Amino acid sequence: MMSRVLFVDDDPDVLDTLRATIETAEPEWEGAFAGSGEEALGLMASLPVDVIVSDMVMPAMDGAQLLQEVMRRHPGVVRIILSGYAEEPQALRSAGLAHQYLMKPLDYQLLSATIARAGALRALLADPRLQQVVARMGTLPSLPALYVKLQEACRASDVSLGAVANIVEQDAAMTAKMLQLVNSAFFGLRRRVASPLHAVQLLGIDMVKTLALSAHVFFGVDPLRLRACALGDQWSHGLLVGTLASRIAAFENADPETVEHARVAGLLHDTGCLVLASSTPGAYSQVIALARSQGLPLAEAETQRLGVSHAAVGAYLLGLWGLPEAIVRAVAFHHTPGRCPGGGFDALAAVHVGDALAHELYASHVIGAPSALDAPYLDEAGLLGQLPAWREACRAAVTDAAA
Ligand SMILES: [Fe+2]
Ligand SMILES: [Fe+2]
Protein backbone atom coordinates (compact mmCIF):
# COMPACT_ATOMS: atom_id res chain seq x y z
CA MET A 1 0.00 0.00 0.00
CA MET A 2 1.45 3.36 -1.07
CA SER A 3 1.60 6.07 1.61
CA ARG A 4 1.90 9.73 0.86
CA VAL A 5 4.13 11.33 3.48
CA LEU A 6 4.36 15.10 3.76
CA PHE A 7 7.54 16.51 5.34
CA VAL A 8 7.55 20.06 6.66
CA ASP A 9 10.80 21.80 7.58
CA ASP A 10 12.02 25.36 7.13
CA ASP A 11 15.54 24.12 6.39
CA PRO A 12 15.81 23.37 2.62
CA ASP A 13 18.87 21.18 3.20
CA VAL A 14 16.88 18.90 5.48
CA LEU A 15 14.15 18.55 2.83
CA ASP A 16 16.71 17.84 0.10
CA THR A 17 18.30 15.08 2.16
CA LEU A 18 14.90 13.57 2.90
CA ARG A 19 13.89 13.71 -0.76
CA ALA A 20 17.05 11.92 -1.85
CA THR A 21 16.81 9.29 0.89
CA ILE A 22 13.17 8.49 0.25
CA GLU A 23 13.59 8.04 -3.47
CA THR A 24 16.08 5.25 -2.98
CA ALA A 25 15.13 3.79 0.39
CA GLU A 26 11.33 3.96 0.49
CA PRO A 27 9.66 3.03 -2.79
CA GLU A 28 6.42 2.54 -0.84
CA TRP A 29 6.27 6.21 0.04
CA GLU A 30 5.34 9.06 -2.13
CA GLY A 31 7.09 12.04 -0.57
CA ALA A 32 5.71 15.57 -0.51
CA PHE A 33 7.69 18.50 0.85
CA ALA A 34 6.85 21.91 2.26
CA GLY A 35 9.10 24.65 3.64
CA SER A 36 6.50 26.15 5.99
CA GLY A 37 3.22 25.41 7.73
CA GLU A 38 1.30 27.61 5.33
CA GLU A 39 2.76 25.83 2.34
CA ALA A 40 1.91 22.45 3.90
CA LEU A 41 -1.74 23.39 4.47
CA GLY A 42 -1.98 24.74 0.94
CA LEU A 43 -0.62 21.48 -0.43
CA MET A 44 -2.96 19.37 1.68
CA ALA A 45 -5.97 21.24 0.36
CA SER A 46 -5.47 19.65 -3.04
CA LEU A 47 -3.34 16.58 -2.31
CA PRO A 48 -4.50 13.69 -0.10
CA VAL A 49 -1.84 12.93 2.53
CA ASP A 50 -1.60 9.89 4.84
CA VAL A 51 1.13 11.02 7.23
CA ILE A 52 2.54 14.44 8.09
CA VAL A 53 5.99 14.77 9.68
CA SER A 54 6.61 18.29 10.88
CA ASP A 55 9.55 20.10 12.39
CA MET A 56 8.65 21.73 15.71
CA VAL A 57 10.48 25.04 15.55
CA MET A 58 9.70 27.03 12.41
CA PRO A 59 9.26 30.76 11.83
CA ALA A 60 5.67 32.01 11.46
CA MET A 61 3.53 28.92 12.03
CA ASP A 62 5.30 26.40 14.30
CA GLY A 63 4.83 22.62 14.31
CA ALA A 64 2.22 22.68 17.07
CA GLN A 65 0.07 25.26 15.32
CA LEU A 66 0.38 23.37 12.06
CA LEU A 67 -0.63 20.02 13.55
CA GLN A 68 -3.55 21.63 15.37
CA GLU A 69 -4.80 22.91 12.04
CA VAL A 70 -4.19 19.52 10.39
CA MET A 71 -6.13 17.83 13.18
CA ARG A 72 -9.06 20.14 12.50
CA ARG A 73 -9.02 20.11 8.71
CA HIS A 74 -7.79 16.56 8.02
CA PRO A 75 -8.57 14.39 11.06
CA GLY A 76 -7.60 11.13 9.33
CA VAL A 77 -3.95 12.08 8.83
CA VAL A 78 -1.33 10.53 11.14
CA ARG A 79 0.57 13.39 12.79
CA ILE A 80 4.24 13.06 13.72
CA ILE A 81 6.34 15.84 15.20
CA LEU A 82 10.09 16.19 15.23
CA SER A 83 11.36 17.95 18.28
CA GLY A 84 14.72 18.92 19.76
CA TYR A 85 15.56 17.89 23.29
CA ALA A 86 15.72 21.39 24.67
CA GLU A 87 12.10 22.22 24.03
CA GLU A 88 10.57 19.74 26.50
CA PRO A 89 7.32 19.40 24.60
CA GLN A 90 5.33 18.34 27.67
CA ALA A 91 2.51 20.81 27.19
CA LEU A 92 2.21 19.76 23.57
CA ARG A 93 2.17 16.13 24.46
CA SER A 94 -0.71 16.50 26.83
CA ALA A 95 -2.55 18.52 24.21
CA GLY A 96 -2.39 15.40 22.03
CA LEU A 97 -1.51 17.24 18.86
CA ALA A 98 0.84 14.60 17.59
CA HIS A 99 0.27 10.87 17.50
CA GLN A 100 3.98 10.36 17.80
CA TYR A 101 6.96 12.47 18.88
CA LEU A 102 10.39 11.80 17.46
CA MET A 103 13.52 13.42 18.79
CA LYS A 104 16.04 15.33 16.77
CA PRO A 105 18.45 14.61 15.23
CA LEU A 106 16.16 12.62 12.99
CA ASP A 107 16.75 8.90 13.35
CA TYR A 108 15.78 7.94 9.83
CA GLN A 109 15.29 4.27 10.64
CA LEU A 110 13.03 5.12 13.54
CA LEU A 111 10.97 7.42 11.34
CA SER A 112 10.78 4.75 8.68
CA ALA A 113 9.64 2.13 11.21
CA THR A 114 7.12 4.57 12.68
CA ILE A 115 5.58 5.35 9.31
CA ALA A 116 5.59 1.71 8.23
CA ARG A 117 3.78 0.74 11.41
CA ALA A 118 1.26 3.50 11.03
CA GLY A 119 0.66 2.25 7.48
CA ALA A 120 0.39 -1.42 8.42
CA LEU A 121 -1.95 -0.65 11.22
CA ARG A 122 -4.08 1.53 9.03
CA ALA A 123 -4.44 -1.43 6.71
CA LEU A 124 -5.25 -3.68 9.64
CA LEU A 125 -7.70 -1.24 11.14
CA ALA A 126 -8.92 0.37 7.97
CA ASP A 127 -12.42 1.09 9.22
CA PRO A 128 -12.97 4.77 8.41
CA ARG A 129 -15.13 5.21 11.53
CA LEU A 130 -12.17 4.19 13.69
CA GLN A 131 -9.90 6.61 11.85
CA GLN A 132 -12.33 9.38 12.54
CA VAL A 133 -12.84 8.54 16.21
CA VAL A 134 -9.11 8.21 16.93
CA ALA A 135 -8.02 11.20 14.92
CA ARG A 136 -10.58 13.47 16.56
CA MET A 137 -9.44 12.58 20.05
CA GLY A 138 -7.66 15.73 21.12
CA THR A 139 -6.59 13.95 24.29
CA LEU A 140 -5.16 10.80 22.76
CA PRO A 141 -2.51 9.83 25.31
CA SER A 142 0.90 10.50 23.81
CA LEU A 143 4.18 8.88 24.72
CA PRO A 144 4.99 9.59 28.36
CA ALA A 145 8.23 11.48 29.08
CA LEU A 146 9.56 8.62 31.21
CA TYR A 147 9.09 6.19 28.35
CA VAL A 148 10.89 8.51 25.96
CA LYS A 149 13.79 8.79 28.42
CA LEU A 150 13.98 5.01 28.77
CA GLN A 151 13.83 4.62 25.01
CA GLU A 152 16.71 7.09 24.64
CA ALA A 153 18.79 5.33 27.28
CA CYS A 154 18.17 1.95 25.69
CA ARG A 155 19.50 3.13 22.36
CA ALA A 156 22.98 2.94 23.87
CA SER A 157 24.12 -0.64 23.28
CA ASP A 158 25.68 -0.92 26.75
CA VAL A 159 22.73 0.34 28.80
CA SER A 160 22.84 -1.14 32.30
CA LEU A 161 19.93 -2.23 34.46
CA GLY A 162 21.27 0.19 37.07
CA ALA A 163 20.94 3.09 34.64
CA VAL A 164 17.36 2.08 33.85
CA ALA A 165 16.56 1.81 37.56
CA ASN A 166 18.02 5.28 38.11
CA ILE A 167 15.76 6.76 35.43
CA VAL A 168 12.67 5.05 36.84
CA GLU A 169 13.51 6.11 40.38
CA GLN A 170 13.18 9.75 39.38
CA ASP A 171 9.46 9.12 38.97
CA ALA A 172 8.01 8.28 42.37
CA ALA A 173 4.59 7.23 41.12
CA MET A 174 6.12 4.92 38.52
CA THR A 175 8.50 3.41 41.09
CA ALA A 176 5.56 2.66 43.37
CA LYS A 177 3.60 1.04 40.52
CA MET A 178 6.60 -1.01 39.44
CA LEU A 179 7.12 -2.38 42.95
CA GLN A 180 3.40 -3.07 43.27
CA LEU A 181 3.54 -4.97 40.01
CA VAL A 182 6.52 -7.20 40.86
CA ASN A 183 4.97 -7.96 44.22
CA SER A 184 1.57 -8.84 42.73
CA ALA A 185 0.26 -12.14 41.47
CA PHE A 186 1.24 -10.94 37.98
CA PHE A 187 4.75 -12.31 38.49
CA GLY A 188 4.00 -15.00 41.02
CA LEU A 189 7.12 -14.27 43.11
CA ARG A 190 7.19 -15.52 46.64
CA ARG A 191 9.65 -12.96 48.03
CA ARG A 192 8.96 -9.33 48.61
CA VAL A 193 10.85 -6.95 46.35
CA ALA A 194 11.64 -3.53 47.78
CA SER A 195 14.42 -2.07 45.63
CA PRO A 196 13.83 -0.50 42.20
CA LEU A 197 17.02 -2.09 40.88
CA HIS A 198 15.87 -5.54 41.96
CA ALA A 199 12.49 -4.86 40.35
CA VAL A 200 14.15 -3.84 37.08
CA GLN A 201 16.30 -6.98 37.18
CA LEU A 202 13.20 -9.12 37.59
CA LEU A 203 11.04 -7.32 35.07
CA GLY A 204 13.62 -6.79 32.37
CA ILE A 205 14.05 -3.56 30.45
CA ASP A 206 11.27 -4.21 27.93
CA MET A 207 8.70 -4.85 30.61
CA VAL A 208 9.77 -1.72 32.48
CA LYS A 209 9.24 0.27 29.29
CA THR A 210 5.81 -1.31 28.81
CA LEU A 211 4.91 -0.46 32.37
CA ALA A 212 5.96 3.13 31.80
CA LEU A 213 3.52 3.19 28.89
CA SER A 214 0.64 1.47 30.58
CA ALA A 215 0.95 3.32 33.88
CA HIS A 216 0.49 6.48 31.85
CA VAL A 217 -2.73 5.16 30.33
CA PHE A 218 -4.06 3.66 33.53
CA PHE A 219 -3.13 6.43 35.91
CA GLY A 220 -2.83 9.46 33.68
CA VAL A 221 -6.58 9.53 33.16
CA ASP A 222 -8.73 11.73 35.38
CA PRO A 223 -10.12 9.31 38.02
CA LEU A 224 -13.39 11.25 38.24
CA ARG A 225 -14.07 10.63 34.59
CA LEU A 226 -13.37 6.96 35.02
CA ARG A 227 -15.57 6.72 38.06
CA ALA A 228 -18.34 8.35 36.09
CA CYS A 229 -17.89 5.57 33.55
CA ALA A 230 -17.52 2.89 36.27
CA LEU A 231 -14.15 1.85 34.92
CA GLY A 232 -12.30 1.99 38.21
CA ASP A 233 -11.13 -1.60 38.27
CA GLN A 234 -9.37 -1.79 34.92
CA TRP A 235 -5.91 -2.14 36.40
CA SER A 236 -6.67 -5.32 38.36
CA HIS A 237 -8.61 -6.80 35.43
CA GLY A 238 -5.59 -6.14 33.17
CA LEU A 239 -3.17 -7.66 35.68
CA LEU A 240 -5.33 -10.76 36.02
CA VAL A 241 -5.74 -11.30 32.27
CA GLY A 242 -1.98 -10.74 31.81
CA THR A 243 -1.27 -13.35 34.47
CA LEU A 244 -3.67 -15.90 32.99
CA ALA A 245 -2.59 -15.32 29.38
CA SER A 246 1.09 -15.80 30.23
CA ARG A 247 0.21 -18.92 32.23
CA ILE A 248 -1.60 -20.37 29.23
CA ALA A 249 1.33 -19.52 26.94
CA ALA A 250 3.81 -21.10 29.35
CA PHE A 251 1.57 -24.16 29.62
CA GLU A 252 1.71 -24.46 25.82
CA ASN A 253 5.53 -24.32 25.99
CA ALA A 254 5.46 -21.22 23.81
CA ASP A 255 8.79 -19.44 23.33
CA PRO A 256 9.68 -16.83 25.99
CA GLU A 257 8.86 -13.98 23.63
CA THR A 258 5.31 -15.22 23.09
CA VAL A 259 4.84 -15.70 26.84
CA GLU A 260 5.97 -12.10 27.33
CA HIS A 261 3.72 -10.83 24.54
CA ALA A 262 0.77 -12.66 26.09
CA ARG A 263 1.51 -11.06 29.45
CA VAL A 264 1.83 -7.54 28.07
CA ALA A 265 -1.15 -7.85 25.70
CA GLY A 266 -3.23 -9.21 28.59
CA LEU A 267 -2.26 -6.26 30.74
CA LEU A 268 -3.18 -3.80 27.99
CA HIS A 269 -6.05 -5.59 26.23
CA ASP A 270 -8.79 -3.23 27.43
CA THR A 271 -6.72 -0.02 27.19
CA GLY A 272 -9.15 1.25 24.55
CA CYS A 273 -11.91 1.49 27.19
CA LEU A 274 -9.83 4.02 29.12
CA VAL A 275 -8.97 5.94 25.99
CA LEU A 276 -12.61 6.13 24.87
CA ALA A 277 -13.91 6.92 28.34
CA SER A 278 -11.43 9.70 28.91
CA SER A 279 -11.72 11.28 25.48
CA THR A 280 -15.50 11.01 25.05
CA PRO A 281 -16.89 10.66 28.59
CA GLY A 282 -20.45 11.68 27.71
CA ALA A 283 -20.85 9.26 24.84
CA TYR A 284 -19.10 6.55 26.81
CA SER A 285 -21.54 6.75 29.73
CA GLN A 286 -24.28 6.04 27.19
CA VAL A 287 -22.32 3.03 25.93
CA ILE A 288 -22.15 1.67 29.45
CA ALA A 289 -25.83 2.30 30.08
CA LEU A 290 -26.65 0.45 26.85
CA ALA A 291 -24.41 -2.51 27.73
CA ARG A 292 -26.01 -2.73 31.16
CA SER A 293 -29.63 -2.33 30.15
CA GLN A 294 -29.44 -4.73 27.18
CA GLY A 295 -26.93 -7.13 28.72
CA LEU A 296 -24.58 -6.61 25.77
CA PRO A 297 -20.84 -7.19 25.73
CA LEU A 298 -19.12 -3.82 26.07
CA ALA A 299 -17.44 -4.09 22.67
CA GLU A 300 -20.84 -4.56 21.01
CA ALA A 301 -22.40 -1.58 22.80
CA GLU A 302 -19.38 0.53 21.76
CA THR A 303 -19.73 -0.52 18.15
CA GLN A 304 -23.45 0.29 18.18
CA ARG A 305 -23.00 3.72 19.77
CA LEU A 306 -19.57 4.90 18.60
CA GLY A 307 -19.00 2.80 15.49
CA VAL A 308 -15.78 1.34 16.94
CA SER A 309 -14.84 -0.96 19.81
CA HIS A 310 -12.26 -0.54 22.56
CA ALA A 311 -10.29 -3.39 21.00
CA ALA A 312 -9.67 -1.45 17.78
CA VAL A 313 -9.00 1.84 19.54
CA GLY A 314 -6.55 0.26 22.00
CA ALA A 315 -4.73 -1.55 19.23
CA TYR A 316 -4.47 1.59 17.15
CA LEU A 317 -2.87 3.50 20.00
CA LEU A 318 -0.46 0.73 21.00
CA GLY A 319 0.56 0.37 17.37
CA LEU A 320 1.37 4.03 17.08
CA TRP A 321 3.36 3.75 20.28
CA GLY A 322 5.48 1.11 18.62
CA LEU A 323 4.59 -2.00 20.61
CA PRO A 324 5.34 -5.31 18.87
CA GLU A 325 2.89 -6.32 16.16
CA ALA A 326 1.96 -9.54 18.03
CA ILE A 327 0.77 -7.47 20.99
CA VAL A 328 -1.14 -5.02 18.82
CA ARG A 329 -2.81 -7.91 16.99
CA ALA A 330 -3.76 -9.65 20.23
CA VAL A 331 -5.36 -6.46 21.53
CA ALA A 332 -7.09 -5.68 18.21
CA PHE A 333 -8.82 -9.06 17.98
CA HIS A 334 -9.20 -10.14 21.60
CA HIS A 335 -13.00 -10.29 21.25
CA THR A 336 -13.04 -11.48 17.64
CA PRO A 337 -10.04 -13.79 17.20
CA GLY A 338 -11.69 -15.55 14.27
CA ARG A 339 -11.24 -12.40 12.20
CA CYS A 340 -7.47 -12.48 12.51
CA PRO A 341 -5.83 -14.75 9.99
CA GLY A 342 -2.95 -16.87 11.20
CA GLY A 343 -4.25 -19.69 13.33
CA GLY A 344 -2.32 -21.83 15.75
CA PHE A 345 -1.27 -20.79 19.23
CA ASP A 346 -0.13 -17.21 19.74
CA ALA A 347 -0.49 -14.29 22.13
CA LEU A 348 -3.95 -13.59 20.68
CA ALA A 349 -5.22 -17.06 21.58
CA ALA A 350 -3.77 -16.69 25.08
CA VAL A 351 -5.36 -13.29 25.68
CA HIS A 352 -8.73 -14.28 24.21
CA VAL A 353 -8.94 -17.32 26.47
CA GLY A 354 -7.37 -15.52 29.47
CA ASP A 355 -10.02 -12.79 29.23
CA ALA A 356 -12.88 -15.31 29.18
CA LEU A 357 -11.39 -17.39 32.02
CA ALA A 358 -10.79 -14.24 34.10
CA HIS A 359 -14.54 -13.88 34.15
CA GLU A 360 -15.37 -17.55 34.51
CA LEU A 361 -12.94 -18.29 37.34
CA TYR A 362 -12.54 -14.97 39.10
CA ALA A 363 -15.68 -13.02 38.12
CA SER A 364 -13.42 -10.36 36.60
CA HIS A 365 -14.63 -8.45 33.59
CA VAL A 366 -15.36 -4.89 32.80
CA ILE A 367 -19.02 -4.06 32.20
CA GLY A 368 -22.00 -5.64 30.47
CA ALA A 369 -22.02 -9.25 29.32
CA PRO A 370 -18.65 -10.95 29.89
CA SER A 371 -16.37 -11.91 26.99
CA ALA A 372 -17.45 -15.22 25.51
CA LEU A 373 -15.09 -17.89 24.27
CA ASP A 374 -15.05 -18.27 20.50
CA ALA A 375 -15.28 -22.07 20.27
CA PRO A 376 -15.29 -22.28 16.44
CA TYR A 377 -12.07 -20.23 16.35
CA LEU A 378 -10.40 -22.42 18.98
CA ASP A 379 -11.57 -25.52 17.15
CA GLU A 380 -10.22 -24.32 13.83
CA ALA A 381 -6.88 -23.41 15.41
CA GLY A 382 -6.74 -26.93 16.85
CA LEU A 383 -6.81 -25.59 20.41
CA LEU A 384 -10.28 -26.47 21.69
CA GLY A 385 -9.10 -29.71 23.28
CA GLN A 386 -6.62 -27.77 25.42
CA LEU A 387 -9.31 -25.76 27.15
CA PRO A 388 -9.84 -28.00 30.23
CA ALA A 389 -6.08 -28.09 30.90
CA TRP A 390 -5.80 -24.31 30.47
CA ARG A 391 -8.69 -23.82 32.87
CA GLU A 392 -6.85 -25.88 35.49
CA ALA A 393 -3.58 -24.00 34.91
CA CYS A 394 -5.43 -20.69 35.30
CA ARG A 395 -7.31 -21.87 38.38
CA ALA A 396 -3.96 -22.57 39.97
CA ALA A 397 -2.33 -19.35 38.74
CA VAL A 398 -3.64 -16.96 41.32
CA THR A 399 -3.78 -19.31 44.32
CA ASP A 400 -0.16 -20.32 43.61
CA ALA A 401 1.02 -16.79 43.52
CA ALA A 402 -0.81 -15.93 46.71
CA ALA A 403 0.63 -18.92 48.60
FE1 LIG B 1 -12.11 -6.24 25.97
FE1 LIG C 1 -11.21 -7.76 29.29
- Which ligand lies nearest the alpha carbon of 297? 1
CB 237 within 8 A of CB 245: no
Question: Of all helices (H) and strands (E), which one includes residue 251?
Answer: helix 234-251
Residue 334's nearest CA partner among 242, 257, 259 is 242
Residue 75 has pLDDT above 90, yes or no: no
pLDDT in tens, 39-72: 999 999 999 998 899 998 888 898 888 988 998 8
DSSP-assigned beta bridge partners for residue 364: none
Distance from the alpha carbon of residue 9 to the mean position of ligand 2, in angstroms: 43
Residue 279 has pLDDT above 80, yes or no: no
Characterize 248-264 residue by residue with b for buried, 16 or more Cβ atoms within 10 angstroms of its Cβ, and e for exposed. bbbbbebeeebbbbbbb
Crossing angle of helices 196-203 and 161-169, rounded to 10° = 120
Region of poorest pLDDT, from 95-99, 161-165, 234-238: 95-99
Distance from the alpha carbon of residue 119 to the mean position of ligand 1, in angstroms: 24
Distance from the alpha carbon of residue 50 to the mean position of ligand 1, in angstroms: 29
pLDDT at 227: 59
Distance from the alpha carbon of residue 128 to the mean position of ligand 1, in angstroms: 21
pLDDT in tens, 309-324: 999 988 887 777 667 7
CA–CA separation, 102 and 376 (whole Å): 43
| Integer Rg of the chain from CA | 22
Q: What is the DSSP string of 349-365?
A: HHHHHHHHHHHHHH---
Distance from the alpha carbon of residue 285 to the mean position of ligand 1, in angstroms: 16
CA–CA separation, 266 and 185 (whole Å): 14
pLDDT band at 208 (very low <50, low <70, confident <90, very high): confident
Distance from the alpha carbon of residue 287 to the mean position of ligand 1, in angstroms: 14
CA–CA separation, 120 and 128 (whole Å): 15
Distance from the alpha carbon of residue 248 to the mean position of ligand 1, in angstroms: 18
Residue 284 has pLDDT above 60, yes or no: yes
pLDDT at 327: 86
The pTM assigned to this predicted structure is: 0.66
pLDDT at 301: 94
Residue 77's nearest CA partner among 111, 95, 55, 100 is 100
Over residues 368-395, the mean pLDDT reads 91
pLDDT in tens, 12-32: 998 998 898 888 877 778 899
pLDDT at 403: 41
pLDDT at 402: 44
Residue 282 has pLDDT above 70, yes or no: yes
> Of residues 52 and 136, which shows the higher confidence score?
52
